[in-house]
Structure 1
Amino acid sequence: MLRLLVLGLVLACAVSLSSSAVILENGAPILWAQTASQVTELPVHDGILLPDPWNYLHRMSLYRLMIAATDPFMGSMGTNTPSWGIRWDIRTPHPGGRLADPTGATTCGLEITLFLCHHTNICNLNNNEYDHFVLFIMYVQMQVPAGVQDYCTTYADCKAKYPDAMSKWDAFFQGLKTTSESLLPDDVKKDTILGVYWDAQMASTYASAACNARQSHYSSVEVSFAQSWLNSAEYVAAARFQANMEKALLFLSPLPSRILQEGDSAPNIVGLTAEENHTLYIFSWMKTIDSGTLLRLWKGAMCSVNTRQKGAQVLEQLLLNPSFATSTFLSIITEMTTSC
Structure 2
Amino acid sequence: MHPLWVVTVLLLQCLSSHTAVITEGGYPYLWHKVPDRHGEQPPEDGVLVIQPWDYLQRMALYKWMLNATDEYMTSMGSRPNENPLWNLPLQLSWLYKSVRLADPTSATTCGHETGDILCVSPHSWWACVNYYLSVIPFLAAVETGLLGQGVTVQVQAPTGVEQDYCASQEDCDVKQPELMLKWESFYQALKNLSTSDLPDAEKKEQILKFMWDAQTSSLEASSQCKDLQKNYSEPEQKFSRIWIESTEFMAATHIHSSLEKAVPLMAPLPGRILKEGDKPPNIADLSEEENHALYIFYWMESMNSNLEGALKNMWRSAMCSTTARKRGQEVLSNLFLDPKFAVAGLMSIIKDMSSTC
**TM-aligned CA deviation for residue 195 of structure 1:** 0.2
Distance of aligned partners of 1:112 and 1:71 in 2 relative to their CA distance in 1, 3 Å threshold: farther
RMSD: 2.4
Distance of aligned partners of 1:319 and 1:35 in 2 relative to their CA distance in 1, 3 Å threshold: same
**Cα distance between partner residues in 2 of 1:113 and 1:218:** 20
Secondary structure in 2 aligned to 1:128?
helix
Identity, in percent, stands at 44
Matched-pair contact (CA < 8 Å) for 1:42–1:58: no
**Cα distance between partner residues in 2 of 1:76 and 1:292:** 35
Secondary structure in 2 aligned to 1:174?
helix
TM-score (norm 2): 0.83
Q: Which residue of 2 aligns with 1:11?
A: none
**Cα distance between partner residues in 1 of 2:352 and 2:243:** 25
Residue among 180, 202, 205 paired with 1:191:
205
TM-score (norm 1): 0.87
* Structural mapping, 1:154-169, within 5 Å: 154-169=168-183
* Structural mapping, 1:51-70, within 5 Å: 51-70=50-69
Amino acid at match of 1:332: I
Q: Which residue of 2 aligns with 1:275?
A: 289
2:145 pairs with 1:145: no
* 1:206-250 alpha-carbon deviations (Å, 9 max, x no partner): 111111111110112211111111111111111111211122211
- Note the residue ranges of structure 2 that are not aligned, 5 or more in a row: 1-16, 143-152
2:355 pairs with 1:338: yes
Q: Which deviates more, 147-156 or 322-331?
A: 147-156
The alignment covers a number of residue pairs equal to: 323
Matched-pair contact (CA < 8 Å) for 1:131–1:204: yes
2:125 pairs with 1:123: yes
Amino acid at match of 2:117: F
**Cα distance between partner residues in 2 of 1:122 and 1:312:** 31
2:220 pairs with 1:203: no
**Cα distance between partner residues in 2 of 1:24 and 1:225:** 22
**Cα distance between partner residues in 2 of 1:179 and 1:109:** 40
Matched-pair contact (CA < 8 Å) for 1:86–1:243: no
**Cα distance between partner residues in 2 of 1:267 and 1:92:** 20
Q: Which residue of 1 aligns with 2:5?
A: none
Amino acid at match of 1:100: A
Distance of aligned partners of 1:180 and 1:86 in 2 relative to their CA distance in 1, 3 Å threshold: farther
Q: Which residue of 2 aligns with 1:25?
A: 24
Secondary structure in 2 aligned to 1:263?
coil
Q: Which deviates more, 175-184 or 164-173?
A: 175-184
Runs (4 or more) in structure 1 with deviation over 6 Å come to: 92-96
Q: Which deviates more, 38-47 or 191-200?
A: 38-47
* Structural mapping, 1:311-330, within 5 Å: 311-330=328-347
**TM-aligned CA deviation for residue 107 of structure 1:** 2.7
